[in-house]
Structure 1
Amino acid sequence: MSLLLVLGVSHLTSALYAPGSRIREKIESKKITSQVKEKLPEKYGPYYFDQPIDHFSLNTSTFKHRYWANTDHYKQGGPVILYNAGETPADDRSFYVINSTMAELAKRLDGIIIVMEHRFYGTSMPAPDFSAKSLVTLNTKQALEDIASFIKDLKLPNLDIELPPAPETKYIVYGGSYSGNLAAWMRLKYPHLVFAAVPSSAPVHMSYDFYQYFEPIRKYGPKHCIKAIHSVILFVDHILFSPLEGPKIRLKERFGAQDLKHDDDFAELLSYPLGLWQAMTPASNPFVEEFCSVFEGLSSVHDYVEAYGNYTKSIIKKACDKEENVNECMDTHDPRGKMYTDVTNENRAWLWQVCTEYAYWQTGAPLWKSTIVSRKLNTAWFQRQCPLTFGEHEVPRRPIWRKINREYEGWYVSLDRVFWIDGEYDPWREDSIQSESAPDRSDWEEDAKYVVLPKSVHHWDFFVSETVSESIKNTQEQVYTSIRKWIDEADQPSATFAMKYQSPN
């Protein structure tokens, strides 16, 4: 079980980029990995599917769409558990076909488990780079049609018999985080192909100014730690919002960032440790162990600032090359910077998605709310990077997040045979349908399930090990019993006839 736990950490930290992700990418790129990863047996893949580059044009060109499949436990009539890996290369997640809640679900249902890579991640590349010209086919509609096309035309090379088409074969789309959105949206838009869905920690409601991301951290983080962070940010913003340059330079010097020219870049640097909250797992808590521990035994604002500053200095040392100063390393204002000119950088794929469609800008709270993030980190900081990265005329002035909410119904989506799972402490919960701001569903007439996992963060239900809580184990069992019930009900003769002739429109 330890393998999945390791993979799960990677899964959580990469999913839906956390605050300070740009700095985190710099740190990760400098790590030398000596650990030899366990190799997935070849019989599970990877396999490749000829996927249309553009589903909505007359061009018939295709690309090699990568996937993995485990058919070991398949019996005639069993379902397919289909997981799209979302906004990260699927290599590590390929192990989900043998060691995951989804693999266990497929085994118990006599089914198949498939892990499918998302277009423009890993080796599933419809184009040679990540320029705006190449990324024009990276959007929600294309991604969903990828899954639909895969379901309609799938022929598994490691299965001796031909798999009956949907809806005769029941496809259950599983997903966590952004891929959880895809799971829900597949059930919404392709009910004739997708029998059921399990979206976990799925922020299906788009937000432009998403300051609420930090609210669970502020509410549920260790009290002394949150008090320290809040005190430091008040101190910092008092100086950053003043017209005097001298105090700003001296402030940045205390954090090892005296060369960092722009105040909003400095604010982003200070947000880095808050991203560790999303990286928590049932077995590890880097937010407390790596960051909050620096405030132990301290009580004054002066000491809090000193401790935060020392922590930030260590991050700068990890992220920046020795020969470059902090401004060269972390500046986001220079259009000549490598972050804007290197079209081979795979991180541009998710940036394109949030710049064109989703937003999700993680900002400091408005004045009327307490904040643990500098208010210098605002929507303008995020939005400015979109035209600098892709070109002023290549991206919309703002992401079309409102249109996405209208098209896919956001908080108001009503679906049957969907099992929604969220973590009580998940920073993405505010954009999920189980947000405290979302409409109450207690009287909605739909055959759906809703679970909020107590004291859990970002799709913790994916973990299968002795470290998970009883509530997670119970939820995993509920997912099985619910899907088993839905399958049994659908297999009744009258229901089978209705499903067979269900209209795709």
Structure 2
Amino acid sequence: MLLPLHAILPEPREHARTGSTLPPLNTTYYFDQLIDHTNPGLGTFKQRYWHTWEFYEPGGAIVLFTPGEGNAQPYTGYLTNATINGQIAQQNNGATIVLEHRFYGLSNPYPDLSAASLKYHTIQQAIEDLVYFAENVKLPMPGGDDVVPDKAPWVLVGGSYSGALTGWTKINKPDIFWAGYASSAVVESITDFWQYFDPIRKFMPRNCSADVQAVVQHFDQVYASGNKSAFTALKDLFGMSNVVHPDDVSGALRNNLWDWQSLSPTSGPGSQFFNFCDALEVKEGKNAPASGWGLDHALTAWGSYFKNTYLSILCGEQDAESCLGTYNATQSQWTDTSVDNANRSWYWIVCNEVGWFQDGAPKRTPSLVSRLAQPNGDERQCVMMFPEAFSSAPVPNVGKTNKAYGGWNAQAKRLFFANGQRDPWRDATVSADQHWVPSTLNQPIFESDGFHCSDLRMAAGVVDTTVNKVQQAALEHMRLWLVEWKLTHHDKRD
């Protein structure tokens, strides 16, 4: 998921050329979006969006961005030139838009997130939303009623899932958006996505990696031995004495690793992930060697950190079983169908179309994660979340998704892919280690040393020259592609 970016620049804002006052960036607009694009007669719902025309001149680009799987209100910063979106707009006399994805935030066709409502929550419906918006919106700016895609060049931007959505839309509806920018785009749907943790293992501090692997292997060995008292002692050590099921216990240790996804080139000491590694690897003011301190110290140190520091960060006032357990069907995480519950909306797409279950690596493969964590456990949780939709554990139909939208083999014109070496999602992108995809002039692929979606924020390029190189390459490609649009659409504009 993309990190939010609130607009923090001074208000009121002014048009870059005329100096005229613009509405505040947090002004919320509403678009009448179709509930079901296969059945327009079903009606419409109010889809929220945010918009500015700070750099817009007639004929300029319309830059559309959706943050994807979350409430879009905290993302108004993506309207500004602090991001690649705003830079594309500034360079090409454009306007920027942040559009909230259906079934996230307050853009909901129905007043709940029941399975009956979520039947209209699919990748294809989301693609159709973007197209219908571009073809029908009347933007609240001068000339905003005359910017349909055959009269103005539209650029679609996204990161992570919404980066994939950018690619999938360019493939599925190639004639609507003239160009696309897809950051950390997870184009390949994968059920058993154990590779999520592999870039973390490779790029995290070596001593921390060594000790994490030692601890999770110990958890698995103790469980396999059948020594229940020894496993109970492990649970107690980590503050999980009341967590009932062993796979919930060992699976909970992934939370420290998931913090890696929040890192960026601008992250420094004090980031949650590095606090975790420091807790394991700094002893009496000294850092562990590359091999780590070893199992005994790592168990004690990780257990103490998890129990005394991390559980309160992770669970707040909840007890460990309520927070980490996944077998109690009465828990609110399964039963809460209220709107603006991003986790539930995301689970629906995960369980049906994309998978991406982040579990232990195969045997004889280095693993930061317990092998008790397996896709069947995630699939079981799909039933817990949506018992009315699944009578048994579903296997996400990733084959259908990849066939429909191309997966790693996605091909589209004027689609820029930007990825990061340190991105845990890297192996689901076109920069995956196990699937080589050529970079071309029409579909360039650039990779930085960055993390997840690092290139979307210009600040990352200030501190990391490899990210800056990707950003500048993207801006040059967009400039050339938008010149091409003007040349090929000259008659239509006249």
Q: How does 1:480-495 map to 2 (within 5 A)?
A: 480-492=475-487, 495=488
Q: 1:197 Cα shift?
A: 0.4
Q: 1:43 Cα shift?
A: 4.3
3-state SS, counterpart of residue 479 of structure 1:
helix
CA contact (8 A) 1:167 1:195 kept: no
In structure 2, the CA distance between the partners of 1:224 and 1:321, relative to structure 1 (3 Å rule), is closer
Q: Percent identity?
A: 31
Q: How does 1:2-21 map to 2 (within 5 A)?
A: 9-10=3-4
Which residue of the other structure, out of 308, 318, 325, is the alignment partner of 1:331? Answer: 325
CA contact (8 A) 1:78 1:111 kept: yes
Deviation digits for residues 224-255 of structure 1 (CA, Å, limit 9, x no counterpart): 11111111111111112222211111111111
Q: 1:173 Cα shift?
A: 0.3
Query: Which residue of structure 2 lines up, in the alignment, with residue 429 of structure 1?
Result: 426
Distance 2:135 2:319 in 1: 53
Query: Which residue of structure 2 lines up, in the alignment, with residue 101 of structure 1?
Result: 84
In structure 2, the CA distance between the partners of 1:206 and 1:62, relative to structure 1 (3 Å rule), is same
Query: Which residue of structure 2 lines up, in the alignment, with residue 17 of structure 1?
Result: none
Q: 1:103 Cα shift?
A: 1.0
* Aligned residues between the structures: 465
Q: Which runs of at least 4 in structure 1 moved beyond 6 Å after TM superposition?
A: 35-40, 497-500
Distance 1:69 1:228 in 2: 48
CA contact (8 A) 2:64 2:156 kept: yes
Q: Letter of the aligned partner of 1:309 in structure 2?
A: G
3-state SS, counterpart of residue 452 of structure 1:
strand
Q: Letter of the aligned partner of 1:389 in structure 2?
A: M
Query: Which residue of structure 2 lines up, in the alignment, with residue 143 of structure 1?
Result: 126
In structure 2, the CA distance between the partners of 1:170 and 1:38, relative to structure 1 (3 Å rule), is closer
Q: Letter of the aligned partner of 2:77 in structure 1?
A: F
3-state SS, counterpart of residue 352 of structure 1:
helix
CA contact (8 A) 2:7 2:78 kept: no
Distance 1:129 1:66 in 2: 17
Query: Which residue of structure 2 lines up, in the alignment, with residue 460 of structure 1?
Result: 454
- Normalising by the residue count of structure 2, what TM-score does the alignment of the two structures yield? 0.89
Alignment gaps of 5+ in structure 1: 1-6, 12-34, 501-505
Q: 1:325 Cα shift?
A: 4.0
Q: 1:36 Cα shift?
A: 12
Q: Say if 2:43 is the partner of 1:78.
A: no
In structure 2, the CA distance between the partners of 1:401 and 1:368, relative to structure 1 (3 Å rule), is same
Distance 2:194 2:263 in 1: 20
Which residue of the other structure, out of 193, 205, 209, is the alignment partner of 2:192? Answer: 209
Q: Letter of the aligned partner of 2:489 in structure 1?
A: T
Q: 1:421 Cα shift?
A: 0.4
In structure 2, the CA distance between the partners of 1:72 and 1:157, relative to structure 1 (3 Å rule), is same
CA contact (8 A) 1:97 1:114 kept: yes
Q: 1:38 Cα shift?
A: 7.7
3-state SS, counterpart of residue 417 of structure 2:
strand
In structure 2, the CA distance between the partners of 1:423 and 1:261, relative to structure 1 (3 Å rule), is same
In structure 2, the CA distance between the partners of 1:339 and 1:8, relative to structure 1 (3 Å rule), is closer
Query: Which residue of structure 2 lines up, in the alignment, with residue 28 of structure 1?
Result: none
3-state SS, counterpart of residue 334 of structure 1:
coil
Distance 2:353 2:107 in 1: 21
3-state SS, counterpart of residue 277 of structure 1:
helix
3-state SS, counterpart of residue 87 of structure 1:
coil
Distance 1:161 1:273 in 2: 46
Query: Which residue of structure 2 lines up, in the alignment, with residue 248 of structure 1?
Result: 231
Q: Say if 2:278 is the partner of 1:293.
A: yes
Distance 1:74 1:336 in 2: 52
Q: 1:498 Cα shift?
A: 10
Q: Letter of the aligned partner of 2:355 in structure 1?
A: A
Query: Which residue of structure 2 lines up, in the alignment, with residue 374 of structure 1?
Result: 370
Distance 2:313 2:177 in 1: 45
CA contact (8 A) 1:9 1:281 kept: no
Alignment gaps of 5+ in structure 2: 13-22
Query: Which residue of structure 2 lines up, in the alignment, with residue 152 of structure 1?
Result: 135
Q: Letter of the aligned partner of 1:178 in structure 2?
A: Y
Q: 1:8 Cα shift?
A: 7.3
Q: Letter of the aligned partner of 1:48 in structure 2?
A: Y
3-state SS, counterpart of residue 192 of structure 2:
coil
Distance 1:37 1:162 in 2: 29
Distance 2:41 2:167 in 1: 29
Q: Letter of the aligned partner of 1:66 in structure 2?
A: R
Q: CA RMSD in A?
A: 2.4
Q: Letter of the aligned partner of 1:75 in structure 2?
A: E
Q: 1:287 Cα shift?
A: 5.2
